[in-house]
Amino acid sequence: MPAKRTPSAPGDADKLIAHQSRLLKAPRIAEHYHRLAEQGRDAGWSLEDYLGAVLAVESNARAESGARQRIRYAGFPAIKTITDFDFTAQPAVDRAQIARLESGGWLAEARNIVLLGPPGTGKTHLATALAIAAAHAGHRVAFAPATGWITRLAEAHRTNRLEAELRKISRYGLIVIDEVGYIPFDTEAANLFFQLVSTRYEKSSIVLTSNLPFSRWGQVFGEATIAS
């Protein structure tokens, strides 16, 4: 005959759950299981429903914490979102297309986005917002102006670390290259830029902004072949 289970003393279950939550490094379970138990009793949840709700609280909190970390270290000059963008001031920007891009399907296909237009049209805002959306979706992201990327690679080249630096950058699911064409590149800078782009081609994504149309990119790189 099976032994009868001795009921837990008041507070024992709380202590056990708090202890196990610490061992699992899952503090939100201890914070929310009481509330969810009450909610489950009122709603008639099964044990599986309750367990799923408790685990979802922890996993969602971890996902949000990870996104905050990715955004923190991405190098954004400011936090921008698509919701903040003033589409009425920029009627040429297709709101529906931007919404599709925000969903992130292009990242899975390692596609790139190029945002062109004169100063003040919101290119950097949109590039930042799309990258932040990617960070929330779990992608590692990094932001820098074109000159910043070139400075980083030039220093790596000077110290014989260029290949290692390119590999490091390739681990980002998305990089933003802002303000291409703001300053023309010399031959070395153009070649470094080419290597940055080519090492990511069909492997991971780039969002690039520029004030110049494609027809003038030869002036930036000093060579039509690299520009193409």
Residue 20 lies in a domain: yes
Q: What is the mean pLDDT of residues 193-204?
A: 94
Would you state the structure tokens that stand for residue 228, as one six-digit string? 């193409």
Supply the range of the domain harboring residue 31: 12-72
- Inter-residue contact 221 to 214 (CB < 8 Å): no
Residue 10 pLDDT exceeds 70: no
User: Do both 118 and 216 map to the same domain?
Assistant: yes
pTM of the model: 0.81
3-state secondary structure of 18: helix
Give the pair of three-digit tokens for residue 102.
Answer: 């925000």
CA 101 – CA 85 distance, rounded (Å):
14
- Looking at the fold, whether 68 and 170 belong to one and the same domain comes out as no
Do the domain assignments include residue 64? yes
**pLDDT tens string 19-65:** 888 988 888 888 899 899 999 999 999 999 999 999 999 989 898 99
Measured CA to CA, the distance from residue 193 to residue 221 in angstroms comes to 9
Residues 66 and 99 in one domain: no
Digit-coded pLDDT (tens) for 89-121: 999 999 999 999 999 999 999 999 999 999 999
Which of the four pLDDT bands, split at 50, 70 and 90, describes residue 181? confident
CB atoms within 10 A of CB 194: 16
